[in-house]
Amino acid sequence: MTKEKLVIAVGKRIRHIRTDKGLSIEKLALLSGLSYSQVIRIENGKINTSIYQLHLIARTLKVGLMEFFEGVD
């Protein structure tokens, strides 16, 4: 898998988890301390974000960090 495909896959997984939990992008951004535009870019696979930012999102969504990589080969 290329870096670009991995970034897109992880972003889609974050979006899926967020929507399953009923959180808006705005709420995820507010609770995680990230900006709204940054969350959008992460979910759309436009940026290769840091592990720390993924940690903030995982903590906010109350999931383990590895859940973002579930089903990603």
pLDDT in tens, 6-60: 999 999 999 999 999 999 999 999 999 999 999 999 999 999 999 999 999 999 9
Let me know if residue 72 belongs to a domain.
no
- Residue range(s) defining the domain that contains residue 55: 3-66
Residue 43 burial (CB count, 10 A): 21
71 pLDDT above the threshold of 90: no
State how far the Cα of 53 lies from the Cα of 13, in Å rounded to an integer.
15
Residue 12 sits in a domain whose CATH number is 1.10.260.40
* Number of domains the chain contains: 1
Q: Which residue has the tokens 């859940």?
A: 67
| pTM for the whole structure | 0.94
